[in-house]
């Protein structure tokens, strides 16, 4: 399991949320309050959208609290849209290629979740990645595979539904192979214009996901960044959100239903 | 392209060949004399056989010359059988998972070579890896894929012929897709009992491979470790060797013929 | 604060204590049971004595639980004498040069403790290091400084008393500058023949230190490696031990008294 | 010896000079054309001035060509003033703390050069660092020491003359100890407003230093970034420059004279 956050709105320094908040992402790397593991120290990553079309991605394998470069970058980069992630490896190696966010073209993606029997299903996952995305299959995580599968299923055209289908197809693999939990999925992704996020599980242990509406934008995160309970809204299981930083829209996110329908 | 060496014989400190020889492997990491790239600074690795059945594998992403741990380990470990490798990445990421030697069970493997269109063929390579080996497909190199494919083809039963078939099958992929060079392959592998090595290419640019018979054992290497020309014997293209450190046997290594025959 | 252990006796695989014990050192890197910080994830190090006079030192900046090389080395190296350490940085950078054990010649040294106002006293500490040791002042920790100062005070001749004086002199710096705690010190050091350890503090918060007598040798450690309470003996504050793996001798360790006396 | 460049002028993407130029800094990390070592692969660093008063510093120990993070950051950050450096270690460890640029407050500093007998003089250098700067003495290089000594000598008030005195004092150490070369020094530093650079040696082997006036700013660099010989102006030995990106001023830089005068 992992922890993440995203910001979209007026430009903000990344360190406000990643370093300075009471329960900042770096604090969560040492002691997350929600979730299976309090420790998320197997690497970290940032993706922000700035002067180029593509996101700038910075990842490393150290614990987030111990990387001086992360402190520097987070405290100097001001962006209207950024994603940040700290990793707790479930099974795959601790390597930059396995750190989130992943990116392809304008898209960036980060994930917290679990796929039953992932190590045994890896080759089947790899086969589901479209060949034209395979040169960007850098690592070995199920997260990256789900992302690239979603790209192949039309993330550009329908950002929520392509992800829903990708998750559904991958869940089906676990279901057919009898591995549990079939799917636990909390994720956030962006094309540089909007931020998308979804929360879902095939059982009742749905990874947490929250957002907060602020005057100048919207934060999405795995767990509240401070103790002010009033501001944080929990996203319901089976729900996806889309936001441009001012408005926020909710839709159903039902991967299995979606696969069954096809 | 990369550089490597192996030792089998009476126990020797690893640093004799890796650090102290005139044209040691660490020297080759800065300035190899033979081969396409004089610089082999994209990581390194050691595998040695000691008190356990499995090899001990130590890899890192730094240039070999700059890793203090490598100096320490190479100068303290004495082994009757070891493999050492310095990497020049052709296309895949610089990551521990992409460093040689690779290992599975008792087997270790290291490689210097090139597969035309590797990045485009990666998914097809991955599919050729037997599912029971796929949890050890840690990285993205063609080298690791060839090794795991060979394991699946019976490396345990017939160490030369399984490798020959694996190389043949992979070459066929490049050939069918029209990528050149189809295959350039110089490699060395071991089960802890014997050292195997082969030299082959589908064109006339065959990566170099040498050995030297010493009183107390045999060195196999990409290029001579000193300027004493008398001692170093070049392995002919299309040839594989098997050695237990005292005797050395040569056989043909003809991947394509072998694939055509099946 | 940090965690460490040492073994002296019949040769043992390092992983028995570092990886496999119930409360192994790697477990302590995630969740130490005693001490100020449960997390000791700012790097690790090993020093073992083998075929050479000098110890082999292997250190890296990753959390001990996430370093594949550590797993490999710990499970393949069998040694009659080894030291192992996991670090929780109090103030200085996370860098290989700041990881324990430190070594000079045959000596290796590791430490868990605290020096009040360390960052402000650093230059004074550096000045106390004998000039002939200064080329081995690689990092910035107070631990390394205390070790090198002890070398200068005759660690070769009197391993306990030189350390006692070094600690006393450094404590005096903190005392004079009015920084608290003046000194908290739990450490272990070796010349490859014997293992020395000491436990001391200028206040009542003395870092923990234990040992266990086994049939085949002696373990010294920051905290018990399993829940079997009968075997672990706590070293009293103000005490140093010397052991060759069969016998164990205790003496007083009173740094301030020792400095006052000179 | 090392290679570096600085830009001051209209905002430019860092990758134009660091990655994309014909003889870019990353190319120089593999094969510098001028200087003692063609290979500068012992780490790298960037410092740029953006939305904050302090520079943002990003450093790592990998060769510049192999760091994906460097590619990302260099191609996304656009700045009016930046410094970039690739390192060839002469003696000290390969560690982030030994990578340039160094920074203190608004100042950043990078260096290419040599101090005779540096390892033997290290403690004397450390003593010359003002105590209030010593908590920022992170590494072990002579470069960082010279920078912090210059800070102590009034870099804020007189950026050229404080550096001149610092270099002079350090050269005196080598001269008194009889180590050669006494001093070879090519460096570049900035307070975020102007860029300063100086070229000097106590013998005739003066490390190279160039600049180019462009319509939109000024580049300072160890060696020309392309083969267009017309644009690059060599700075004469014993000379320092000051530039705000539009105008450029030259003054004498005579460290020994300056020390003798005091």
**For residue range B58-99, what is the model confidence (pLDDT) as tens digits?**
999 999 999 999 999 999 999 999 999 999 987 788 899 999
Looking at every residue in chain B, the average pLDDT score rounds to 94
Answer yes or no: are the C-beta atoms of A221 and A6 closer than 8 Å: yes
Tell me if C122 and D138 make a contact (CB, 8 A cut-off). no
How many other CB atoms sit within 10 Å of the CB of residue B164?
25
pLDDT at D260: 57
Instruction: List the single residue in A97, A122, A134 with the smallest CB-CB distance to B134.
Output: A122
Which residue in the block uniquely carries the two structure tokens 């070293």?
C235
CB contacts of D93 in chain C (<8 Å) are 96-97, 138
pLDDT at B262: 45
Burial code of A166-186, b = ≥16 C-beta within 10 A, e = fewer? bbbbbbbbbbeeebebbbbbb
- Flag whether pLDDT at B161 surpasses 60: yes
- Flag whether pLDDT at B129 surpasses 70: yes
On whether any CB of chain D is under 8 Å from the CB of A138, the answer is no
pLDDT at C171: 97
Tell me if A69 and D59 make a contact (CB, 8 A cut-off). yes
Instruction: List the single residue in B52, B59, B73 with the smallest CB-CB distance to C56.
Output: B73
- Tell me which residue of C4, C75, C105 sits closest to C45, measured CA to CA: C4
- Flag whether pLDDT at A257 surpasses 80: no
Q: What is the pLDDT of residues C95-135, one digit of tens each?
A: 999 999 999 999 999 999 999 999 999 999 999 999 999 99
Closest residue of chain B to D60, computed from CA coordinates: B62
CA distance D29 to D42: 9
How many other CB atoms sit within 10 Å of the CB of residue B228?
10
CB contacts of A61 in chain C (<8 Å) are 62, 66
On whether any CB of chain A is under 8 Å from the CB of C94, the answer is yes
pLDDT at A261: 47
Chain D: nearest CA to A73, how far in angstroms? 7
Quick one: how far is CA B78 from the chain centroid?
20
- Flag whether pLDDT at A78 surpasses 90: yes
On whether any CB of chain A is under 8 Å from the CB of B250, the answer is no
On whether any CB of chain B is under 8 Å from the CB of D93, the answer is yes
Chain A: nearest CA to D21, how far in angstroms? 19
CB contacts of A72 in chain D (<8 Å) are 56-58
pLDDT at B111: 98
- Tell me which residue of B212, B204, B261, B201 sits closest to B241, measured CA to CA: B212
Quick one: how far is CA B254 from the chain centroid?
17
- Tell me which residue of A51, A71, A65 sits closest to D54, measured CA to CA: A71
CB contacts of B68 in chain C (<8 Å) are 59, 96
CB contacts of B68 in chain D (<8 Å) are 93-94
How many other CB atoms sit within 10 Å of the CB of residue D154?
14
Tell me if D75 and A96 make a contact (CB, 8 A cut-off). no
pLDDT at B260: 57
CA distance B255 to B170: 9
Coil, strand or helix: which one is B261? helix
Instruction: List the single residue in D96, D127, D129 with the smallest CB-CB distance to C95.
Output: D96
The DSSP element (H or E) to which A111 belongs, if any, is strand A107-114
Concatenated DSSP letters for A136-192?
A: G--S--HHHHHHHHHHHTTTTT-HHHHHHHHHHHHHHHHHHHT-SS--EEEEEEE-S
CA distance A21 to A12: 13
CA distance A244 to A8: 7
Looking at every residue in chain A, the average pLDDT score rounds to 94
Return the structure tokens found at B193.
């009992």
Chain A: nearest CA to D91, how far in angstroms? 24
pLDDT at C262: 45
Closest residue of chain C to A39, computed from CA coordinates: C30
- Going from N- to C-terminal start, the domains of chain D cover 3-261
CA distance D10 to C257: 65
Angle at CA of residue D206, ends D205 and D210, nearest 5°: 140
Chain B: nearest CA to D142, how far in angstroms? 19
Chain B: nearest CA to C145, how far in angstroms? 20
Residue A260 pLDDT level (bands cut at 50, 70, 90) = low
Instruction: List the single residue in B97, B120, B123 with the smallest CB-CB distance to A126.
Output: B123
Closest residue of chain D to C92, computed from CA coordinates: D138
Question: Considering only A32-41, B172-181, C78-87, which range has the smallest mean pLDDT?
Answer: A32-41
Sheet with B184-190, edge to edge strand ranges: B102-104, B107-114, B184-190, B195-201, B239-243, B248-252
Q: What is the pLDDT of residues D161-205, one digit of tens each?
A: 999 999 999 999 999 999 999 999 999 999 999 999 999 999 999
Residue D53 pLDDT level (bands cut at 50, 70, 90) = very high
Angstrom distances, CA of residue D252 to CA of C65, D108, D164, D234: 55, 22, 10, 15
Residue D90 pLDDT level (bands cut at 50, 70, 90) = confident
Q: What is the pLDDT of residues D202-240, one digit of tens each?
A: 999 999 999 999 999 999 999 999 988 789 999 999 999
- Tell me which residue of C139, C188, C164, C117 sits closest to C261, measured CA to CA: C164
Tell me if B61 and D62 make a contact (CB, 8 A cut-off). yes
Answer yes or no: are the C-beta atoms of C255 and C240 closer than 8 Å: no
pLDDT at C260: 56
CA distance D166 to D147: 8
pLDDT > 70: what percent of chain A? 98
pLDDT at D257: 75
Q: What is the pLDDT of residues B3-35, one digit of tens each?
A: 999 999 999 999 999 999 999 999 999 989 987
Closest residue of chain D to A79, computed from CA coordinates: D51
Q: What is the pLDDT of residues B185-228, one digit of tens each?
A: 999 999 999 999 999 999 999 999 999 999 999 999 999 999 88
CA distance B216 to C237: 54
How many other CB atoms sit within 10 Å of the CB of residue C180?
12
On whether any CB of chain C is under 8 Å from the CB of B56, the answer is yes
Chain A: nearest CA to B224, how far in angstroms? 34
Quick one: how far is CA C14 from the chain centroid?
17
Tell me if D73 and A56 make a contact (CB, 8 A cut-off). yes
Tell me if B123 and A140 make a contact (CB, 8 A cut-off). no
Instruction: List the single residue in C39, C61, C68 with the smallest CB-CB distance to A30.
Output: C39
Cβ contacts of D83 within 8 Å, gap of 6 or more: D4, D5, D6, D45, D46, D47, D48, D55, D101, D108, D110, D188, D190
Which residue in the block uniquely carries the two structure tokens 């430490």?
C111
Instruction: List the single residue in C95, C122, C126 with the smallest CB-CB distance to D97.
Output: C95
On whether any CB of chain A is under 8 Å from the CB of B138, the answer is yes
Q: What is the pLDDT of residues A176-227, one digit of tens each?
A: 999 999 999 999 999 999 999 999 999 999 999 999 999 999 999 999 999 8
**Domain A3-261: CATH superfamily, name plus number:** Aminohydrolase, N-terminal nucleophile (Ntn) domain (3.60.20.10)
Q: Chain A interface, mutation test: which of C26, C39, C44, most A Cβ atoms within 10 Å?
A: C39
Angstrom distances, CA of residue D59 to CA of A32, A209, D83, D86, D148: 28, 34, 12, 10, 18
Residue by residue, pLDDT tens for chain C (262 residues) are 799 999 999 999 999 999 999 999 999 999 899 877 789 999 999 999 998 999 999 999 999 999 999 999 999 999 999 999 999 987 788 899 999 999 999 999 999 999 999 999 999 999 999 999 999 999 999 999 999 999 999 999 999 999 999 999 999 999 999 999 999 999 999 999 999 999 999 999 999 999 999 999 999 999 999 988 789 999 999 999 999 999 999 999 999 877 754 4
């Amino acid at each position: 399991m992992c922890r993440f956050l995203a910001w979209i709105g007026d430009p903000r320094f990344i360190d406000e949320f990643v370093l300075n908040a009471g329960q900042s992402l770096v604090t969560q790397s040492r002691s997350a309050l929600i979730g299976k593991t309090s420790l998320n120290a197997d690497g970290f990553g940032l993706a922000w959208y700035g002067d180029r079309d593509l996101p700038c991605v910075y990842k490393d394998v150290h614990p987030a609290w111990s990387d001086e470069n992360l402190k520097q970058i987070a405290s100097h980069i001001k962006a209207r849209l950024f994603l940040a992630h700290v990793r707790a490896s479930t099974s795959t190696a601790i390597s930059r290629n396995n750190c989130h966010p992943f990116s392809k073209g304008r898209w960036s993606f980060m994930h917290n979740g679990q796929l039953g029997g992932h190590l045994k299903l890896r080759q089947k996952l790899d086969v589901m990645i479209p060949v034209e995305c395979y040169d960007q299959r850098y690592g070995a995580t199920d997260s990256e595979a789900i992302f690239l599968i979603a790209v192949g299923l039309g993330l550009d055209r329908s950002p929520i539904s392509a992800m829903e289908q990708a998750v559904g197809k991958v869940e089906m693999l676990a279901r057919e192979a009898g591995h549990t939990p079939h799917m636990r999925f909390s994720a956030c992704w962006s094309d540089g214009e909007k931020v998308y996020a979804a929360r879902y599980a095939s059982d009742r242990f749905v990874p947490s996901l929250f957002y907060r509406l602020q005057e100048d934008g919207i934060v999405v995160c795995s767990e509240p960044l401070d103790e002010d309970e009033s501001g944080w809204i929990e996203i319901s299981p089976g729900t996806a959100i889309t936001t441009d930083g001012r408005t926020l829209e909710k839709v159903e996110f039902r991967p299995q239903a979606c696969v069954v329908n096809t």
